[in-house]
Amino acid sequence: MPELAPWLALAGLGAFHGVNPAMGWLFAAALGLHRRSGAAVWQSLVPIAAGHALSVALVVGLVLALGAVVEQRSLEIAAGLLLIGWAAYHAVYGHRHRVRIGFTAGMAGLGIWSFLMATAHGAGLMLIPVVLPLCLAATPARELTAAGSLPISLAALGVHTAAMLSVIAVVAFAVYQWFGVGFLRRGWINVDLIWIGTLAVTGGVLLA
């Protein structure tokens, strides 16, 4: 079970990202309703997943590259402070900087939107407390190297993205097929507030 814990955490974070409307299911469902096409819902999942995965991969890759030349504890402290600062910025200014895209956008535009949303929300930063020790555990010397960390980081990205995409697909199709986006006005939770709290807690974990 200890060996499975990081992978379950990655899947859990993927599911958490997937349930957030800002990560793509709201757009996928609304796009399907706008075009009156269930196929549009499924087609939109590909660029949404690709944009999210690219954003996360760039952050994780940067952290691992820095980890090869920076002492691990210093990297954890820097990442923790960045997460807490990102949470504070998102709490104060996040609502002022919404990435907007219309329903006439193509798949390339949707992929760019997904990349920008994941980056703006700090989706990749959330994975640092899991990916960093996971990559270290995969190397006998417990030092980050390109050869040792690349396969495990790619596997981590795959698990995270697959979990996120599964949740987005289920929620988007359920909203398109049965509920409609109007139900958000009646009872959807404030995911942004939970997101901010998660960023701050994750930063605190790294600092501790």
What is the reported pLDDT for 19? 87
Q: pTM for the complete prediction?
A: 0.80
What is the reported pLDDT for 52? 93
Length of the chain equals 208
The closest alpha carbon to 17, from 52, 68, 64, belongs to 52
pLDDT tens by residue, the chain, 208 residues: 557 888 998 999 999 888 888 788 787 887 888 788 788 888 889 999 999 999 999 988 888 777 777 777 887 888 888 888 888 887 777 655 555 555 555 677 788 888 988 888 888 888 888 887 777 665 554 555 555 577 888 889 999 999 999 999 998 888 888 776 665 555 555 667 777 888 888 888 888 7
Who's near 76: CB < 8 A, 6+ residues apart?
132, 206, 207
What is the reported pLDDT for 140? 53
| Alpha-carbon distances, residue 196 vs 16, 84, 93, 203 (angstroms) | 13, 9, 12, 11
Question: Looking up tokens 């995270």, which residue turns up?
Answer: 160
